[in-house]
Structure 1
Amino acid sequence: MTDSRLTLSDAQRLVDEWIHTYGVRYFSPLTNMAVLTEEVGEVARLMARQYGDQSFKKSDEGRELADELADVLWVLLCIANQTGVDLEAALKKNLEKKTQRDQERHRSNPKLVVPEEEIESKK
């Protein structure tokens, strides 16, 4: 059985191939930034309805969080491709930065500490 998982580099390459095969060309980076904002808004709308207090509307029918998140990832991959960013390398570097900067920060945040009674109740 073959592993069907994609690396970020694979995903960037597949998006680039799709754009050049079916999409004619990339939208301009500024247009893609606007499209990214629009797609993130669609994720926010769905999250507010699925996990928040807003009720669904007829226009929300058929929308799936996975698909909306994939739309965000798609545009992000497009922006990375057209600006020469290797997302795999960038993510690794970003994780290193966060580890150095935040290795104790979150553990010492009283807002994130799980109350002892909650730990006990799960035993």
Structure 2
Amino acid sequence: MTKKTLYQMQHEVDDYIAQFKVGYFSPLAQLARMTEEVGELAREVNHYYGEKQKKANEAPNTVAEELGDVFFALLLMANSLEIDLTEVFDQNMAKFNQRDHYRFERKDGTRAPEDENALN
């Protein structure tokens, strides 16, 4: 099975939305929906990994399902704002790789250049 690219996913969501007269909701409405989905994700994470047990009458949703809902809402919002998430991802990874290169202890043992000077 061939994995879809983020670009393909954004276009698939756009094709899905294009079949409805209403189209994309306003950015504020989309943010509200995404916030709602993140809340549902938090609830599932709390049930699976936290101390709060599910009630017997609650639906057996999974963390994966809720992550999928958050991801779909994110794709919707990006599309409506004409944001290419592949481009944004590449920019963010470049930023993190530069800014946070030595933020955490590295498995290879390398340290930030200023850490080397502190040892001398």
TM-score by length of 1: 0.80
- Uncovered stretches (5+) of structure 1, i.e. residues with no partner: 109-123
Offset, 1:24:
3.8
User: What corresponds to 2:117 in structure 1?
Assistant: none
Q: How many residues align?
A: 106
Could you tell me which amino acid in structure 1 is paired with residue 94 of structure 2? E
User: What corresponds to 1:26 in structure 2?
Assistant: 24
Offset, 1:32:
0.2
User: What corresponds to 1:113 in structure 2?
Assistant: none
Sequence identity, in percent? 39
User: What corresponds to 2:86 in structure 1?
Assistant: 88
User: What corresponds to 1:6 in structure 2?
Assistant: 4
What is the rounded CA distance, in whole Å, between the counterparts of 1:16 and 1:59 in structure 2? 35
Point out the more displaced range, 70-79 or 54-63. 54-63
Displacement over 4 Å in runs of 4+: none
Go from structure 1 to structure 2 and tell me whether the alpha carbon gap of 1:23 and 1:43 turns closer, same or farther (over 3 Å shift): farther
Offset, 1:58:
3.5
What is the rounded CA distance, in whole Å, between the counterparts of 2:100 and 2:48 in structure 1? 31
What is the rounded CA distance, in whole Å, between the counterparts of 2:21 and 2:12 in structure 1? 12
User: What corresponds to 1:115 in structure 2?
Assistant: none
Spell out, residue by residue over 1:78-110, the C-alpha distance to the aligned partner (whole angstroms, 9 max, x if none).
1100111100110011000001001011117xx
1:75 corresponds, among 62, 73, 76, to 73
1:60 corresponds, among 58, 61, 70, to 58
Go from structure 1 to structure 2 and tell me whether the alpha carbon gap of 1:46 and 1:36 turns closer, same or farther (over 3 Å shift): same
What is the rounded CA distance, in whole Å, between the counterparts of 2:64 and 2:73 in structure 1? 15
Offset, 1:27:
1.1
Point out the more displaced range, 19-28 or 92-101. 19-28
User: What corresponds to 2:118 in structure 1?
Assistant: none
